[in-house]
């Protein structure tokens, strides 16, 4: 298990570093850094950079300011010194699952289309319209890696009842297979496009113990209790973490496990570089902090025990 956790965290760190590289490329490509070699007001830079989608440009500039690439003082912006290292070493590289690299490249290219208009048809980040692209992302080895961690951490096995909040198109099969015909897997997702891909997979695998429901997890009130609740890469789309974490805790039997997988922001410096790209999905709110999740657990009013597995997985046991 330790090796899997290490692999997950190293991939997430590499995703942040590649996002930083792509973000720096955008600053060069759009002439933002060249213009900011001497001080300019925000208004001037927003007008002079030839990017039609000014909301995207504002978001890009704010990300540079957050990362300290651009300094802001007295209402003027100026380029600061910034250096960047991507560590490729014999110790690190065997951990990296390479499939996500081309997906990140594709998302990087989508920014050019989004810079014309956010609704450009070549921006493929909508959960419903672009369910196929999301399915490609969710089918990567990286995603199977954290599902394997989820199964092991939650001790998911035959006969268990499992609820997956924001299940996506792949987990219903990959996780559903572990609870088997004597168990039950209920997947909830608000995207009909994503669910129809998942549905056709479970039908062709004959997994009739898997049920999918088209619902918004911010609005549900669980009526039943489960042995395990999963939330992987979902809190980043939720503006009401307390409400959703409470829903998850309410849905657990006592002794049940809640498994949360997210790149908790205090563990990944410069994660705002990755967030810039994920904002192409209109529902993206931001990667949650570990402390926001802990506060939400406290606010749920339930007694719990928590174990941190590396930098991106929390395993919570309801007492």
Q: How far is the CB of 273 from ligand SAM (least distance, A)?
A: 18
Q: In the complex with ligand SAM, which residue's Cβ is closer, 127 or 276? A: 127
**61, two tokens:** 């500039």
Q: Which residue is nearest to ligand SAM (CB)?
A: 168
Q: How far is the CB of 314 from ligand SAM (least distance, A)?
A: 15
- Look-up of token digits 């790149």: 263
Q: How far is the CB of 194 from ligand SAM (least distance, A)?
A: 4
Q: How far is the CB of 168 from ligand SAM (least distance, A)?
A: 3
Q: How far is the CB of 217 from ligand SAM (least distance, A)?
A: 4
Q: In the complex with ligand SAM, which residue's Cβ is closer, 4 or 46? A: 4
23, 276 contact by CB (below 8 A) = yes
Distances 35 to 50, 60, 275 between C-alpha atoms, Å: 12, 14, 24
Query: At a CB cut-off of 8 Å and minimum separation 6, what does 283 contact?
Result: 127, 237
164, 188 contact by CB (below 8 A) = yes
Q: How far is the CB of 259 from ligand SAM (least distance, A)?
A: 11
Q: In the complex with ligand SAM, which residue's Cβ is closer, 30 or 287? A: 287
Identify the three-state secondary structure at position 159: coil
149, 4 contact by CB (below 8 A) = yes
**248, two tokens:** 């998850």
**Distance (Å, rounded) from C-alpha 286 to C-alpha 274?**
10
Q: How far is the CB of 293 from ligand SAM (least distance, A)?
A: 16
Q: In the complex with ligand SAM, which residue's Cβ is closer, 49 or 140? A: 140
Q: In the complex with ligand SAM, which residue's Cβ is closer, 16 or 61? A: 16
What DSSP designation does 21 have? H
**Distance (Å, rounded) from C-alpha 278 to C-alpha 66?**
16
Residues that bind ligand SAM (CB under 6 A): 127, 138, 143, 166-168, 170-171, 188-191, 194, 216-218, 232-234, 237, 283
Beta strands in 48-169 (DSSP E): 70-73, 76-79, 161-165
Q: In the complex with ligand SAM, which residue's Cβ is closer, 194 or 271? A: 194
Q: In the complex with ligand SAM, which residue's Cβ is closer, 63 or 232? A: 232
């Amino acid at each position: 298990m330790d090796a899997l956790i290490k692999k997950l965290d190293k991939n997430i760190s590499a995703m942040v570093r590649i996002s930083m590289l792509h973000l720096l490329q955008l600053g060069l490509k759009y002439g933002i850094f060249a213009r900011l070699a001497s001080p300019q007001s925000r208004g001037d830079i927003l007008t002079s950079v030839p990017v039609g989608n000014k909301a995207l440009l504002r978001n890009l500039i704010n990300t540079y300011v957050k990362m300290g690439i651009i300094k802001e003082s007295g209402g003027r912006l100026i380029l600061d010194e910034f250096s960047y290292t991507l560590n490729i070493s014999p110790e690190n590289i065997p951990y990296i699952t390479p499939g996500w690299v081309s997906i990140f490249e594709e998302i990087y290219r989508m920014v050019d289309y989004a810079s014309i208009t956010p609704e450009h048809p070549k921006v493929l980040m909508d959960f419903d319209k672009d369910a196929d692209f999301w399915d490609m992302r969710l089918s990567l080895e990286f995603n199977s890696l954290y599902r394997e961690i989820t199964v092991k951490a939650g001790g998911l096995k035959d006969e268990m009842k499992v609820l997956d909040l924001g299940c996506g198109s792949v987990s219903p099969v990959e996780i559903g297979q572990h609870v088997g015909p004597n168990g039950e897997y209920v997947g909830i997702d608000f995207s009909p496009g994503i669910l129809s891909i998942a549905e056709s997979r479970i039908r062709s695998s004959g997994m009739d113990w898997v049920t999918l429901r088209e619902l918004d997890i911010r609005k549900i009130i669980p009526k039943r209790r489960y042995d395990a609740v999963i939330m992987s890469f979902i809190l980043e789309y939720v503006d009401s973490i307390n409400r959703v974490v409470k829903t998850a805790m309410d849905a657990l039997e006592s002794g049940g496990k809640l498994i949360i997988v997210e790149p908790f922001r205090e563990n990944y410096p410069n994660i705002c570089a990755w967030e810039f790209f994920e904002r192409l999905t209109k529902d993206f709110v931001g990667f949650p902090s570990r402390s926001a999740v802990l506060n939400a657990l406290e606010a749920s009013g339930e007694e719990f025990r928590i174990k941190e597995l590396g930098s991106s997985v929390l395993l919570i046991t309801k007492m």
